[in-house]
Structure 1
């Protein structure tokens, strides 16, 4: 959990606060967990990820895809808290590289930068419907590539 929070927040102290908040939310909302909708692990990581993204948005901090430049510049951290989380990282990078540039940027803005579809449309200067279609098709292509 700390690895996910640190990767999104890019700050150890913020990541620790996010994990603390995640544990509190997990504890208070444990009754809302529905095993038929997915694993507990996925639910826990989803809560952590959403809290981290909210923290980044609230602080008006942006990782900025422009700072990354391209998918080749994205690196895996040296210290991994959850090795299983990163076990498929090389494969996902290969799959991402197979996407066209604009859809690839949509996916990275959405899942790395935490941007909304409307924000992505503004960043790329593309219609909102096009961005939604690119993301939908890209996620399908990534699922097929990862299978």
Structure 2
């Protein structure tokens, strides 16, 4: 990988320093969470990015690229694809930082959802061109309710409370699928169950979680 990675699109106007892929892959097993001080710093930086601060975007990249690369790699299964998606993630952050609401989601959760969504977009585009529509079943479910859990109307405390109402397996699967970027086939393999069973487990857990959030 070159020492510098070019951010796609001229609108950002600078080069992102790249993080070694070995370090990025090691980060995959770390939880999607951040200490309070680090969270507040990311909130501050994203506010600056929303105002057009390129150096703030660089700082966000340096603090989060390893974790987000891990999410992209889990979904795409390819280091090259993950690196390409990662650049798209930060271009999305540059364009949409003003939409981040610290009262509704932590910074790393918001960024993780963008990374997962962009990686899934890449797979769906390729599936639509190269394979029959049935193949799309193997791509992680981009259920709108799931993707919006942390960013479309519920604050962090309420989300954590509702996750706590799920059984341990359900909460673990929701976090793995929608925050850590693991696909349904990966989760089915990890748990040693058929893919339809895994989809059913996650669907039921999402229904219970949604019911709690809407109560």
Greater Rg by CA = 2
Higher relative contact order (CA 8 A, sep 6+): 1
